[in-house]
Amino acid sequence: MRIAVLGTGNGGMAAAGHLALEGHEIRLWGRTRANFAALLLEQGAGSGRGRLEVKSIEHSGDAEIALVTDDIAKALDGAELILVPAPAYSHDDIALAFAPHVREGQVVTFMPGNFSSVSARRILDAAGAPPIPLLGTATLPYGARRSPGREVVIALRTAINPAAALPASRNSEAVAVLKRAYPEVVEASDVLDVALLNPNLPIHSSLMVTNAGPIEHFGEEYDMHADGTTPATLRVIYSIDRERIAVREALGYGAPHYEQETYYDKSRQGEGLFGRAASTLVEESGLWRERLSMDHRYLDEDIAYGVSLISEAGRVAGVPTPTTDSLIQVASVLRGLELRGRGRNLAMLGLNGLSPEQLRAKLR
């Protein structure tokens, strides 16, 4: 396929490199030229062909990128699939950028979804864009890090990645397009179902809060996955996860819920989104020994746009979420910023006051 990848962070570079090696024609768009200039084959050019050096657990090599550009109209031209592998707090800005340029027949996918499709639909409608399906996936398909140059290292890949469209009535056709790029994708019920399957929400939020001292003390020398996943931290992760699953069940979403045990328990990793040896690959790769602080996206994204959604969905479903609510409050104090209202909420999306049945019907 011709695929437009929007974003030049870890996820965008991983998607561009991996899919190019798989034989797809990739158009990579970045808002800031300095973030992708090293990829261009003709140095000093504004846009053009590029090359990425991919180091992956599957296969490595030099990936040829058909177009690297800061012109989003060029990136989207003729693309069947548009991927947004970027943090949730950037999704609205990216949707505003692509809204004037999308065409009937294209499919947009937010990776991870984090309920961004609902907000993006409002943006596209306001711009007079065609009613194309807007997919969300449960997670970014990669555990990866890019270098400042042209290298990206992919330490792990999804084995299963649930996805759904807005509207959910178009799930089958939209998911079929995404599966041409990612065969591991499976169809979920709707975009809220998908958002409540994001495995990073209990993990990143709990690790940041319970490891605040070491993070601030060691700075860039700390790997919270390898050094900070203690038995006590796991109890917090599992408590939030139990609340997430209770919310899902009350909303009518059935199994599989991809419990956190399918990531940490080696006997169950074959059931999980990242497959066998997932947590071991993360801990042993060394990629996550990085600069961390209390203004990291693990709080600004995973709390504000993810964990807060678990809490809100719990109120809709009538399910108490005490550990989740406490974590949001403590994270907000650590961040020095109220995180609950910093991301999205149901009211700003026009979904407030609905019953679980009404909410799911509206998403369909």
User: What is the model's pLDDT at position 12?
Assistant: 97
| Residue 249: count of CB within 10 angstroms of its CB | 14
Domain shared by 164 and 204, yes or no: no
Domain's final residue, options 163, 195, 227? 195
Torsion sign over Cα 165, 102, 82, 343: negative
The token pair at 220 is 């860039």
Q: Identify any residues that bridge with 183 across adjacent strands, giving them in sequence order.
A: none
350 and 204, same structural domain? yes
In whole angstroms, how far apart are CA 1 and each of 16, 25, 78, 180?
Answer: 12, 6, 10, 8
Pair 158, 222 in one domain: no
Number of structural domains in the chain: 2
**Residue among 235, 257, 237 at smallest CA distance from 245:** 257
Across the beta sheet with 185-187, the strand order is: 142-146, 151-157, 48-56, 61-69, 25-29, 2-6, 81-84, 107-110, 134-137, 161-166, 185-187
CA distance 234 to 39: 40
Nearest to 19 by CA among 82, 87, 108, 69: 82
What pLDDT, in 10s, does the model give residues 100-137?
999 999 999 999 999 999 999 999 999 999 999 999 99
Residue whose entry in the numeric block shows the structure tokens 């807005």 = 166
Q: Where are the beta strands (DSSP E) in the chain?
A: 2-6, 25-29, 48-56, 61-69, 81-84, 107-110, 134-137, 142-146, 151-157, 161-166, 185-187
* Residue ranges in the chain modelled with pLDDT below 70: none
152 and 207 assigned to the same domain: no
DSSP state of 363: H
Q: Which pLDDT does position 209 carry in this prediction?
A: 97
| DSSP string computed for 199-248 | THHHHHHHHHHHTHHHHHHHGGGB-HHHHH--HHHHHHHHHHHHHHHHHH
> Residues 344, 247, 204, CA angle at the centre, nearest 5°?
60
Rg, the chain, Cα only: 19
Q: Does residue 226 share a domain with residue 161?
A: no
- 4-18 confidence digits (pLDDT tens): 999 999 999 999 999
Same domain flag for 185 and 101 = yes
- Burial class for 42, CB neighbours closer than 10 Å (0-12, 13-18, 19+): exposed
What is the domain-level CATH number for residue 267?
A: 1.10.1040.10
Whether 207 and 229 have beta carbons less than 8 Å apart is answered as yes
Q: Are residues 160 and 57 in the same domain?
A: yes
Together in a domain, 23 and 118: yes
Give the residue from 195, 220, 235 where a domain finishes.
Answer: 195
Q: What is the pLDDT of residue 46?
A: 76
Q: Of 144, 175, 195, which marks where a domain is finished?
A: 195
Q: Are residues 265 and 161 in the same domain?
A: no
Same domain assignment for residues 145 and 47 = yes
What is the pairing mode between strands 2-6 and 81-84? parallel
Q: Tell me, yes or no, whether 235 and 348 share the same domain.
A: yes
Output the pLDDT for position 42: 83
Same domain, 60 and 187: yes
Supply the range of the domain harboring residue 40: 2-195
Q: Of 246, 244, 255, 266, which Cα lies nearest the Cα of 200?
A: 244
